[in-house]
Structures are given as C-alpha cells and as structure tokens.
Amino acid sequence: MQLQYSFIIPVYNRPDEIQELLESFNALDGAIPFEIVIVEDGSTKTSKAVVETFSNKLNISYYFKENSGPGDSRNFGMQQAKGNYFIILDSDCILPKDYLVAANKSLETDYVDCFGGPDAAHSSFSNLQKAINFSMTSFITTGGIRGNKNSVDKFQPRSFNMGLSKKAFEASKGFGRIHPGEDPDLSIRLWNLGFKTKLIPEAYVYHKRRISWKNFYKQVNKFGMVRPILNKWHPSTKKVTYWFPTLFCLGLILAILFFILGNKWLLLAYTIYFFIAFLLALISTRNLIVSVLTMPAILIQFIGYGYGFFKSTLAVSVLNKNPEKYFPKLFFKLN
C-alpha cells in the first residue's frame, strides 16, 4: 500500500505555535509528499492569517469549527483529510528535519496502523520547559514509558505525536470525548479491534509545553484523574505501577513524620532519589539551572498525578460515581 500522509493539527488560541510548527514543516528533509490539515477549535485568536502565509509553500488546508475539544477536532480533521495515513500533532510541537523520513522508513519496514513517537527538548526551550520535559520523559519518573524502547510491543501512542491509518480511524471512530486520556483510550480500543501499535523512537518531536508550574500541576493532576476512569472502562489494562505516584507521595509524608520523630532513614532514601534525578538531569541537559528546576518538576508531577489518581480511584472505583457527572471538566460536549 502506498502511504499518503495527512498531518492533522488542532489548535486553540495559539497562532504563534502554528507559526513555529509550519516553519519546521517547511524545513523537512526528503521528497515524501504530504498535506497539512489545520483545525481551529473555536478560537477567539485564530491562526488563519498565519496559515495563509504558508499557503504557497505547503499543501495546507484550514478549517474553523465550534469548540468541542482536541479529540473531536482531530476526528474532524481526519474526516476532511485526503490521505490514507494520518499523523496527529499538537500545535506546541516542532518537527526535526528527518521526522517524516524516519516515520516513513519504519512503516515501510514494519507496518502498523498506529504509531507513536517520543518527545524531546529543543535547544531554544526555556529552562522551565527543559526541566518539565525531563520530568515527563525520564525513566526515573513515570514519564519514561512514552519514550522507552522496551515498550514498543504494547506502546500507547500519545496524540501530541501519533500516526493512525484511515482504516483504523474508520474502524474505531477515532477519539472519544474524554480529555486528557483520549489517546490511551483510543489505543486500547484499537488493540481490542485487532490493530497493532508501536513506538518509532526516531520519529520524535520537540514538544514545547508552554506552561507554568501552576498549569503543569493542573495537567498532571488531570492525567491522574483520568487513569482510574480508563481502568474502569478497560479493566484488562490495569497495572499496579499506576499507583506508584500516589505511594511515592504517601511515603514522602511518612518520611517527614518519621524524621520529626527522630527516624531519618526513609527521608534519606528520598534525598538519594532526588540526588540521582539531579545527576541524571545534569548529565542529560548539561545545565545546572535546568537540573535544579527538575527537582520541583518531579515533585509536582508525583503530587499532581498521585493525588488525582487517588481522588479518582476513590470516586470511580470505591464510591462507584459516574465519571462524566463527577468529573465534568474531563469531558467535552460534542456539537
């Protein structure tokens, strides 16, 4: 089958990000043809003018629709696309020059109907962005699975960098209304339909994540709240490891209490963990400031996810609450 690529990019009030992303498209290596579908999700600050400046340089189309969330916007974009293989990106990504060449080579060698790629920090990123990127992707935190080569066989692609065949999209009906969590939900449903997924390590993107500490906490907290809902929808995917951030936080509280009571050993273990994380960040980023910022980033990630996971598990699994009614902000209403 000859692959015809369509990049699907939902955007909400971020024309500056679209500018950077389209510039990276313009610099891609190789002669592989592709189209770009921009879906404006009810923005008040649109990207239309930015997109028009690239109309003579790229095969690009632009659509404006009422706000219904990123999942529905991706579905809308795939419905409009002309290709038979969709590559979904977030608007805050930048593509390295060999992205499409790497993805295409992997699919030609070992075809799957859905793939995911990891993310990395670009040299132009701020120190905060680099610290958060390390926390979200390092093997020493919960983020490592997204870029872990050992996870290829049952990899759950994330929608900031995700490939999906037209066949798989039509069979699965695409993304659901939950957000975040719409991407692992789709991956699991694809497995149930008999489709395979994989990680393409070489097809990475620079994921900018223009967020503050406060917004980072909100993001990982939502990630934690979503997981028990997905576990209830798809019981076979439950893992003990999902409890790790919650147990990490409970252990830290105990370590502080024990220290107050005169026992320092548990707190010393946490100190060693953060020191190792600091060293790994320093080796990886070669930046002392970023390495220092990595410490609060990891702590925020664990606390946000751990508390969200515990709260949602209590509500959904113990009290048997309706997820959509109890956590309405995690679900988009479709137009």
pTM for the whole structure: 0.89
Helix, strand or coil for residue 64? strand
pLDDT per position as a tens digit, 76-129: 999 999 999 999 999 999 999 999 999 999 999 999 999 999 988 888 889 999
User: How many percent of the chain have pLDDT more than 70?
Assistant: 96
Same domain, 194 and 236: no
Does residue 148 fall inside a structural domain? no
User: How many percent of the chain have pLDDT more than 90?
Assistant: 83
* Secondary structure letter of residue 196 according to DSSP: -
* CB-CB contact of 308 with 225 (8 Å): yes
> What is the model's pLDDT at position 143?
61
Structural domain count of the chain: 2
CATH code of the domain containing 26: 3.90.550.10
Taking residues 201-217, what's their average pLDDT? 89
Does residue 135 fall inside a structural domain? no
Edge-to-edge strands, sheet with 60-65: 60-65, 34-41, 5-11, 85-89, 161-165, 114-116, 197-199
Same domain, 204 and 59: yes
Same domain, 239 and 317: yes
Same domain, 228 and 204: no
Q: Is the pLDDT of residue 276 over 80?
A: yes
Same domain, 20 and 108: yes
Helices 288-313 and 127-137 cross at an angle (nearest 10°) of 50
pLDDT per position as a tens digit, 261-273: 999 999 999 999 9
Q: Is the pLDDT of residue 335 over 60?
A: no
pLDDT per position as a tens digit, 127-163: 999 999 999 888 888 764 443 444 445 788 999 999 9
* CB-CB contact of 116 with 226 (8 Å): no
Domain range for 83: 5-117+157-210
Q: Which residue has the tokens 């935190």?
A: 141
Q: Is the pLDDT of residue 322 over 90?
A: yes
Q: Apex CA 226: angle with CA 235 and CA 301, to 5°?
A: 120
